[in-house]
Structure 1
Amino acid sequence: MPSDTTIPDAARRLRAILTDNVPYCSGTLVGQPRDFLLYYGKAEQVGRIDLANPTVDELDRLAEACQPASFGVNQQDVFDESYRKAGKLDLDSFVLAFNADTHTGLLDAVRSGLFPGTDDREIRVELYKLNVYGENAFFKSHKDTPRAENMFGSLVIVFPTPHVGGALILRHDGREWVFDSGKLLSDPSLPPRIAYAAFFSDVDHEVTLVESGHRVSATYNLYFCPSEHSPASAATDSPTALRVFHPIGENPSEVSSALQELLAEPTFLPNGGTLGFGLRHLYPFPKTWSHGDVEPLTSLKAWLKGSDSALLHACHVQGLHPALQLLHEEEWGDRRGLRPTLFDQMPVVDSAGDGE
């Protein structure tokens, strides 16, 4: 490996763009009165609550209707209040009037926040659970388990029920961000709003201790929708009340520009060679596959996220021919496995990358 002092400035710039990405986006949106209505319960015990103007008694009854929230360990649901203390309602126990898939412009904001500079990545959202974090509730740091190869992230919607604490802390690649819905939604002079955060599945995240009140959130799974199966765009209301707070990730045009600058550097691989890029994100990968199955690395190209997707796009723009390959076995965090890697040869290029 070359020492850091021998790396061209163009390579430093490309590395910085690829590594300094933000793997989440967040903001608030002003909702219509109907967006805050929640119906919950079963049979004759059905409750209704306006999450924009709830009473303490109403929130207490909602919390009492919840089941203890579990979490996944080795593909099993586990209950452990030393790790997660919260209540949850499954899909058969509640109905939200709010629809993340239609009239708010929210999905457009999520797509542009997580995949900046691209307008052809169709995504879909699937409601998963409702969670209620009462006083002293929390959820320690964890990763969400992808439920399909095209699941790439999660969307958390937090309603304006009064609460202190319960911030969502996100960590990835040695960096940390804080999404404090209690503070974002606490200004009584503003109209009722909903806070949201969307992040990739391999981002560690936790919900800090709720000091007082009730933090009520809905969690959605986010999926890529291949273009040939993309649904027709639904009519949406104007998203003028939507505010995106946090900086978005890298733009593919910036990655392409940095890669072009590097390839034009006369001292960089003057006789050609192979470029290898470790993917920045983790992806679900089959343990085994048989002859005749779709090559997993081929289908993986459609599910690349963030800077990985931007790099693949940039290689194509520069006339390279990137190819994903399994490079080596490695341990990282609490996981172990083969990491996909993107390679590219020059000047006739075959390219590679690593992969609530």
Structure 2
Amino acid sequence: MADWKEQLKLALDGVVSGGNFAVTGTVDGPLPEVAVRGVGKLALPIDADQANDLIFAGLPAPYGKGAKTVLDPAVRKATQFEADRVRFSDDWDATIRRVATGAATALGVSGGGASVEAHLYKLLVYEPGGHFTAHRDTEKEPGMFGTLLVQLPVAGGHTGGELSISHQQGREEFWDTEAAAAAAAGAPAAGGGNSGATGAPAGGFQQQQQPVLQYAAFYADCEHELSQVKSGLRVVLAYNLVRVQQAAVVAAAAATTAAASGDAAAASIAGPPTANSSAPSSASAVTEAVRAWEAAASSAGAGAAVQPLVTLLLAHRYTETNLDFGMLKGDDAAKVQALLECPLLDVHLVLFTKEVSGRADMYCSDGDPEEDLEYAQEMAGMDEEYFCETEVKAWVSPLFGRLRHVGGKDALGLKLEELEDSLLGGEQVFPDDLTPDMRMYVPHTGNEGPDITYWYHRALAVVWPRSRRPMLPAAVQGCLTSA
């Protein structure tokens, strides 16, 4: 690796958000008054009679399976109430805003938690046997980036029901909901939990003398699983964590870029830089590495090639809808911010989608029972690949937002192979062991099938020195000066 490239990698390796992909904590303040249509006002801790009323009055909780919503207690067993059936006392609004702000800050959300709101999604009840197998939350509304779970106190608590949360980099956190339930009901807690966030964050849940509320928050792209509740009842308020001022965050990124490039007019229009700026030492280290990059290019002999750009593989999952500077998560946001603050760089975001189709290793036909088809949809692998295509789905500029596509799948004239060769860490964008973001099984019909298709989405930050713009493809140069 070139000295300048190693220097840039080390500079970015030192940039972290200070947050975690999953956090837990205790909600400060009085318990809310909660009323559920069809049940009435809940006494906290919830007693046995009201627990039975909740189970009777609610509906079985489904889960999303591709474009369908499915009821399958082998995958998810819980009772749910839609948000419009739940009401709170007025003081709860201020409390949940404070929790959402603190949780977002602890997660390392770009710009802190000031632009974050918690929108109630559902009230969930898990009785003995209740569970939810490993899954990722879909982003249910514009600006959603995470999930907040607030556990209500229940008399007697519950046993079991551990929530494990994992990130694609192989890290895993656990929420001991049993200990949290004991603490919430005012009983001594046995410990457990992970890193804290706000309200009264803790490395583990503390002993409580009065009923309190415990919560966990995590990014929506994290895989999580609730183990089976063994006894008692677990009652949870599930919230969507949503950025409600995304445009302001994007404008801040544009301001940083404009100010760095000396474009005072654009910087004035865009507004001030984001509050989640990288440490001065990190920004300085990035700038020094870029100067070394430029020096290497200047000193290269005739015909010697010094790569015109580098790429950084983002750790979190993004989609065509949510890839934006204002929607980056955790360390991704911190590292990209450090790049934006370098006055010598252009920084863009790009999303690639890979589609792979082949023969499935499980045989089902349209006439087979639905449960067989569902099993194949979940479990079938690929025997023989016959189609593979990679396509640019989004290209985002901090100044102009989403750029137009030029040339279809080779949008802006840059191909995956070129960007992958420029990765700072030497990774593969789509390694062989990558888990698909979506899969579709097509059963045997006539002389065709069964087939299976996988879709993968990966996001990159694409970076080049402004002095190297003439070395870039013409399509890219054109998009740097027009929307």
TM-score (norm 1): 0.76
* C-alpha contact 1:85 1:137 (8 A) present in aligned 2: yes
In the alignment, which residue of structure 2 is the partner of 1:343? 462
Cα distance, 1:262–1:318 mapped onto 2, change above 3 Å:
closer
Cα distance, 1:267–1:301 mapped onto 2, change above 3 Å:
closer
- For residue 280 of structure 1, the aligned residue among 312, 315, 322 is 315
* C-alpha contact 1:30 1:192 (8 A) present in aligned 2: no
Gaps (5+ residues) in structure 2? Answer: 188-207, 250-275, 298-305, 355-429, 438-454, 473-483
In the alignment, which residue of structure 2 is the partner of 1:313? 337
Amino acid at match of 1:314: A
**Cα shift readout 1:223-246 (whole Å, capped 9, x = no counterpart):** 11226689xxxxxxxxxxxxxxxx
Matches within 5 A, 1:154-165: 154-161=147-154, 162-165=157-160
- 183-192 or 324-333: which moved more? 324-333
Q: Would you say how many aligned residue pairs link Structure 1 and Structure 2?
A: 312
1:69 aligns with 2:171: no
* C-alpha contact 2:118 2:239 (8 A) present in aligned 1: yes
CA drift of 1:128 comes to: 0.7
In the alignment, which residue of structure 1 is the partner of 2:210? 191
1:14 aligns with 2:12: yes
Question: 1: CA distance between counterparts of 2:150 and 2:176?
Answer: 12
Matches within 5 A, 1:236-247: none
CA drift of 1:194 comes to: 0.7
* C-alpha contact 2:351 2:459 (8 A) present in aligned 1: yes
- 330-339 or 13-22: which moved more? 13-22
In the alignment, which residue of structure 2 is the partner of 1:170? 165
Amino acid at match of 1:285: E
1:322 aligns with 2:357: no
**Cα shift readout 1:248-292 (whole Å, capped 9, x = no counterpart):** xxx7525x6445325425866732642211111122315xxxxxx
In the alignment, which residue of structure 2 is the partner of 1:32? 30
Cα distance, 1:98–1:14 mapped onto 2, change above 3 Å:
farther
CA drift of 1:190 comes to: 2.1
Cα distance, 1:129–1:328 mapped onto 2, change above 3 Å:
closer
In the alignment, which residue of structure 1 is the partner of 2:227? 208
Cα distance, 1:8–1:19 mapped onto 2, change above 3 Å:
farther
**Who wins on radius of gyration, i.e. which is larger?**
2
- For residue 91 of structure 1, the aligned residue among 83, 91, 97 is 83
CA drift of 1:147 comes to: 2.2
* C-alpha contact 1:38 1:95 (8 A) present in aligned 2: yes
- 328-337 or 76-85: which moved more? 328-337
- For residue 119 of structure 2, the aligned residue among 100, 113, 126 is 126
CA drift of 1:61 comes to: 2.0
Question: 2: CA distance between counterparts of 1:267 and 1:106?
Answer: 44
- 275-284 or 183-192: which moved more? 183-192
* C-alpha contact 1:141 1:205 (8 A) present in aligned 2: yes
SS of residue paired to 1:283: coil
* C-alpha contact 2:148 2:238 (8 A) present in aligned 1: yes
* C-alpha contact 1:116 1:252 (8 A) present in aligned 2: no
Amino acid at match of 1:175: R
- For residue 278 of structure 2, the aligned residue among 233, 239, 253 is 253
SS of residue paired to 1:310: helix
Say which structure is richer in strand. 1
Question: 1: CA distance between counterparts of 2:67 and 2:90?
Answer: 30
1:58 aligns with 2:47: no
Gaps (5+ residues) in structure 1? Answer: 231-250, 287-295, 352-356
Q: What RMSD, in angstroms, separates the aligned Cα atoms of the two structures? A: 3.3
Question: 2: CA distance between counterparts of 1:227 and 1:175?
Answer: 28
CA drift of 1:316 comes to: 1.9
Question: 1: CA distance between counterparts of 2:232 and 2:148?
Answer: 22
Cα distance, 1:264–1:285 mapped onto 2, change above 3 Å:
same
TM-score (norm 2): 0.57
Amino acid at match of 1:334: P
**Cα shift readout 1:282-334 (whole Å, capped 9, x = no counterpart):** 22315xxxxxxxxx86xx22222212221222112222221112456348313
Amino acid at match of 2:12: L
- Once the two structures are aligned, what percentage of the paired residues are identical? 25
- For residue 146 of structure 2, the aligned residue among 126, 150, 153 is 153
Amino acid at match of 2:222: V
Question: 2: CA distance between counterparts of 1:349 and 1:21?
Answer: 34
**Cα shift readout 1:21-71 (whole Å, capped 9, x = no counterpart):** 6212220123414x1x332234xxx433213x3322321221222211100
SS of residue paired to 2:333: helix
Bigger relative CO (Cα 8 Å, ≥ 6 apart): 1
* C-alpha contact 1:8 1:268 (8 A) present in aligned 2: no
- 160-169 or 20-29: which moved more? 20-29
* C-alpha contact 2:116 2:241 (8 A) present in aligned 1: yes
* C-alpha contact 2:18 2:106 (8 A) present in aligned 1: no
